Chain A
Amino acid sequence: EAGVAQSPRYKIIEKRQSVAFWCNPISGHATLYWYQQILGQGPKLLIQFQNNGVVDDSQLPKDRFSAERLKGVDSTLKIQPAKLEDSAVYLCASSSIRGRTEAFFGQGTRLTVV
């Protein structure tokens, strides 16, 4: 089966600019996650979708980050305006709804804010 697709692979922007990341999950997976992984740390959950509804966004900095999942398939994560501390790898993952714990991850988008 095709994996989780993410784009772009790399992005460099200046602080205060905006940026958007795209994710296409595995077909049929109802649950979609966005994680932020700062160098040397474990992934931190930003937002979790179940179909097109938000299940958990408690750790999403809502003053600058937003995410949507239209039609319960693809998702975009946006940062506006970006700060230096947003430099990280942004990982998208998906899992099926049937009680399995295995989440499949994309390769991530490495964001550098200068």
Chain B
Amino acid sequence: GESVGLHLPTLSVQEGDNSIINCAYSNSASDYFIWYKQESGKGPQFIIDIRSNMDKRQGQRVTVLLNKTVKHLSLQIAATQPGDSAVYFCAENWGYQKVTFGTGTKLQVIP
């Protein structure tokens, strides 16, 4: 299938290790920040979001950290599995449900 990860920054992680994917955003007025996962040949899939007045939110095996001072967002995946291999995009939600995607990061899990 089509590789959406071509030319994107790549993070290679050993299976079972933790992964940290970083994102810089630009719009200080964003209400929410969102992480999406996109597997080859598929549309993006929502993982987790965080409201702009929070600095940390945890989900199942994932944690999102928000640092508004430096406009930085990160996604931490615990105990990375082969099924986590995909391209990860951060996105900003602002205005009337406007969603703007950032540059993606390709995560490669090494068995």
- Show the binding face of A for B, using Cβ within 8 Å: 4, 31, 33, 35, 37, 39-45, 48, 50, 55-56, 89, 91, 93, 95, 97, 101-108, 110
Contact = CB atoms under 8 A, between A and B. Distances in A.
Contact of A39 (B6, B32, B44): B6
22 contacts: A31-B97, A33-B99, A39-B3, A39-B4, A40-B6, A40-B7, A41-B103, A41-B104, A42-B89, A42-B91, A42-B102, A48-B97, A50-B97, A93-B43, A101-B34, A101-B99, A102-B34, A104-B46, A105-B43, A107-B41, A107-B43, A108-B43
B87 to A, nearest CB: 9
Interface of B: 2-8, 32, 34, 41-46, 49, 89, 91, 93, 95-104
Interface of B is mostly: loop
Nearest to B51: A101
A103 B91 CA distance: 11
B7 to A, nearest CB: 4
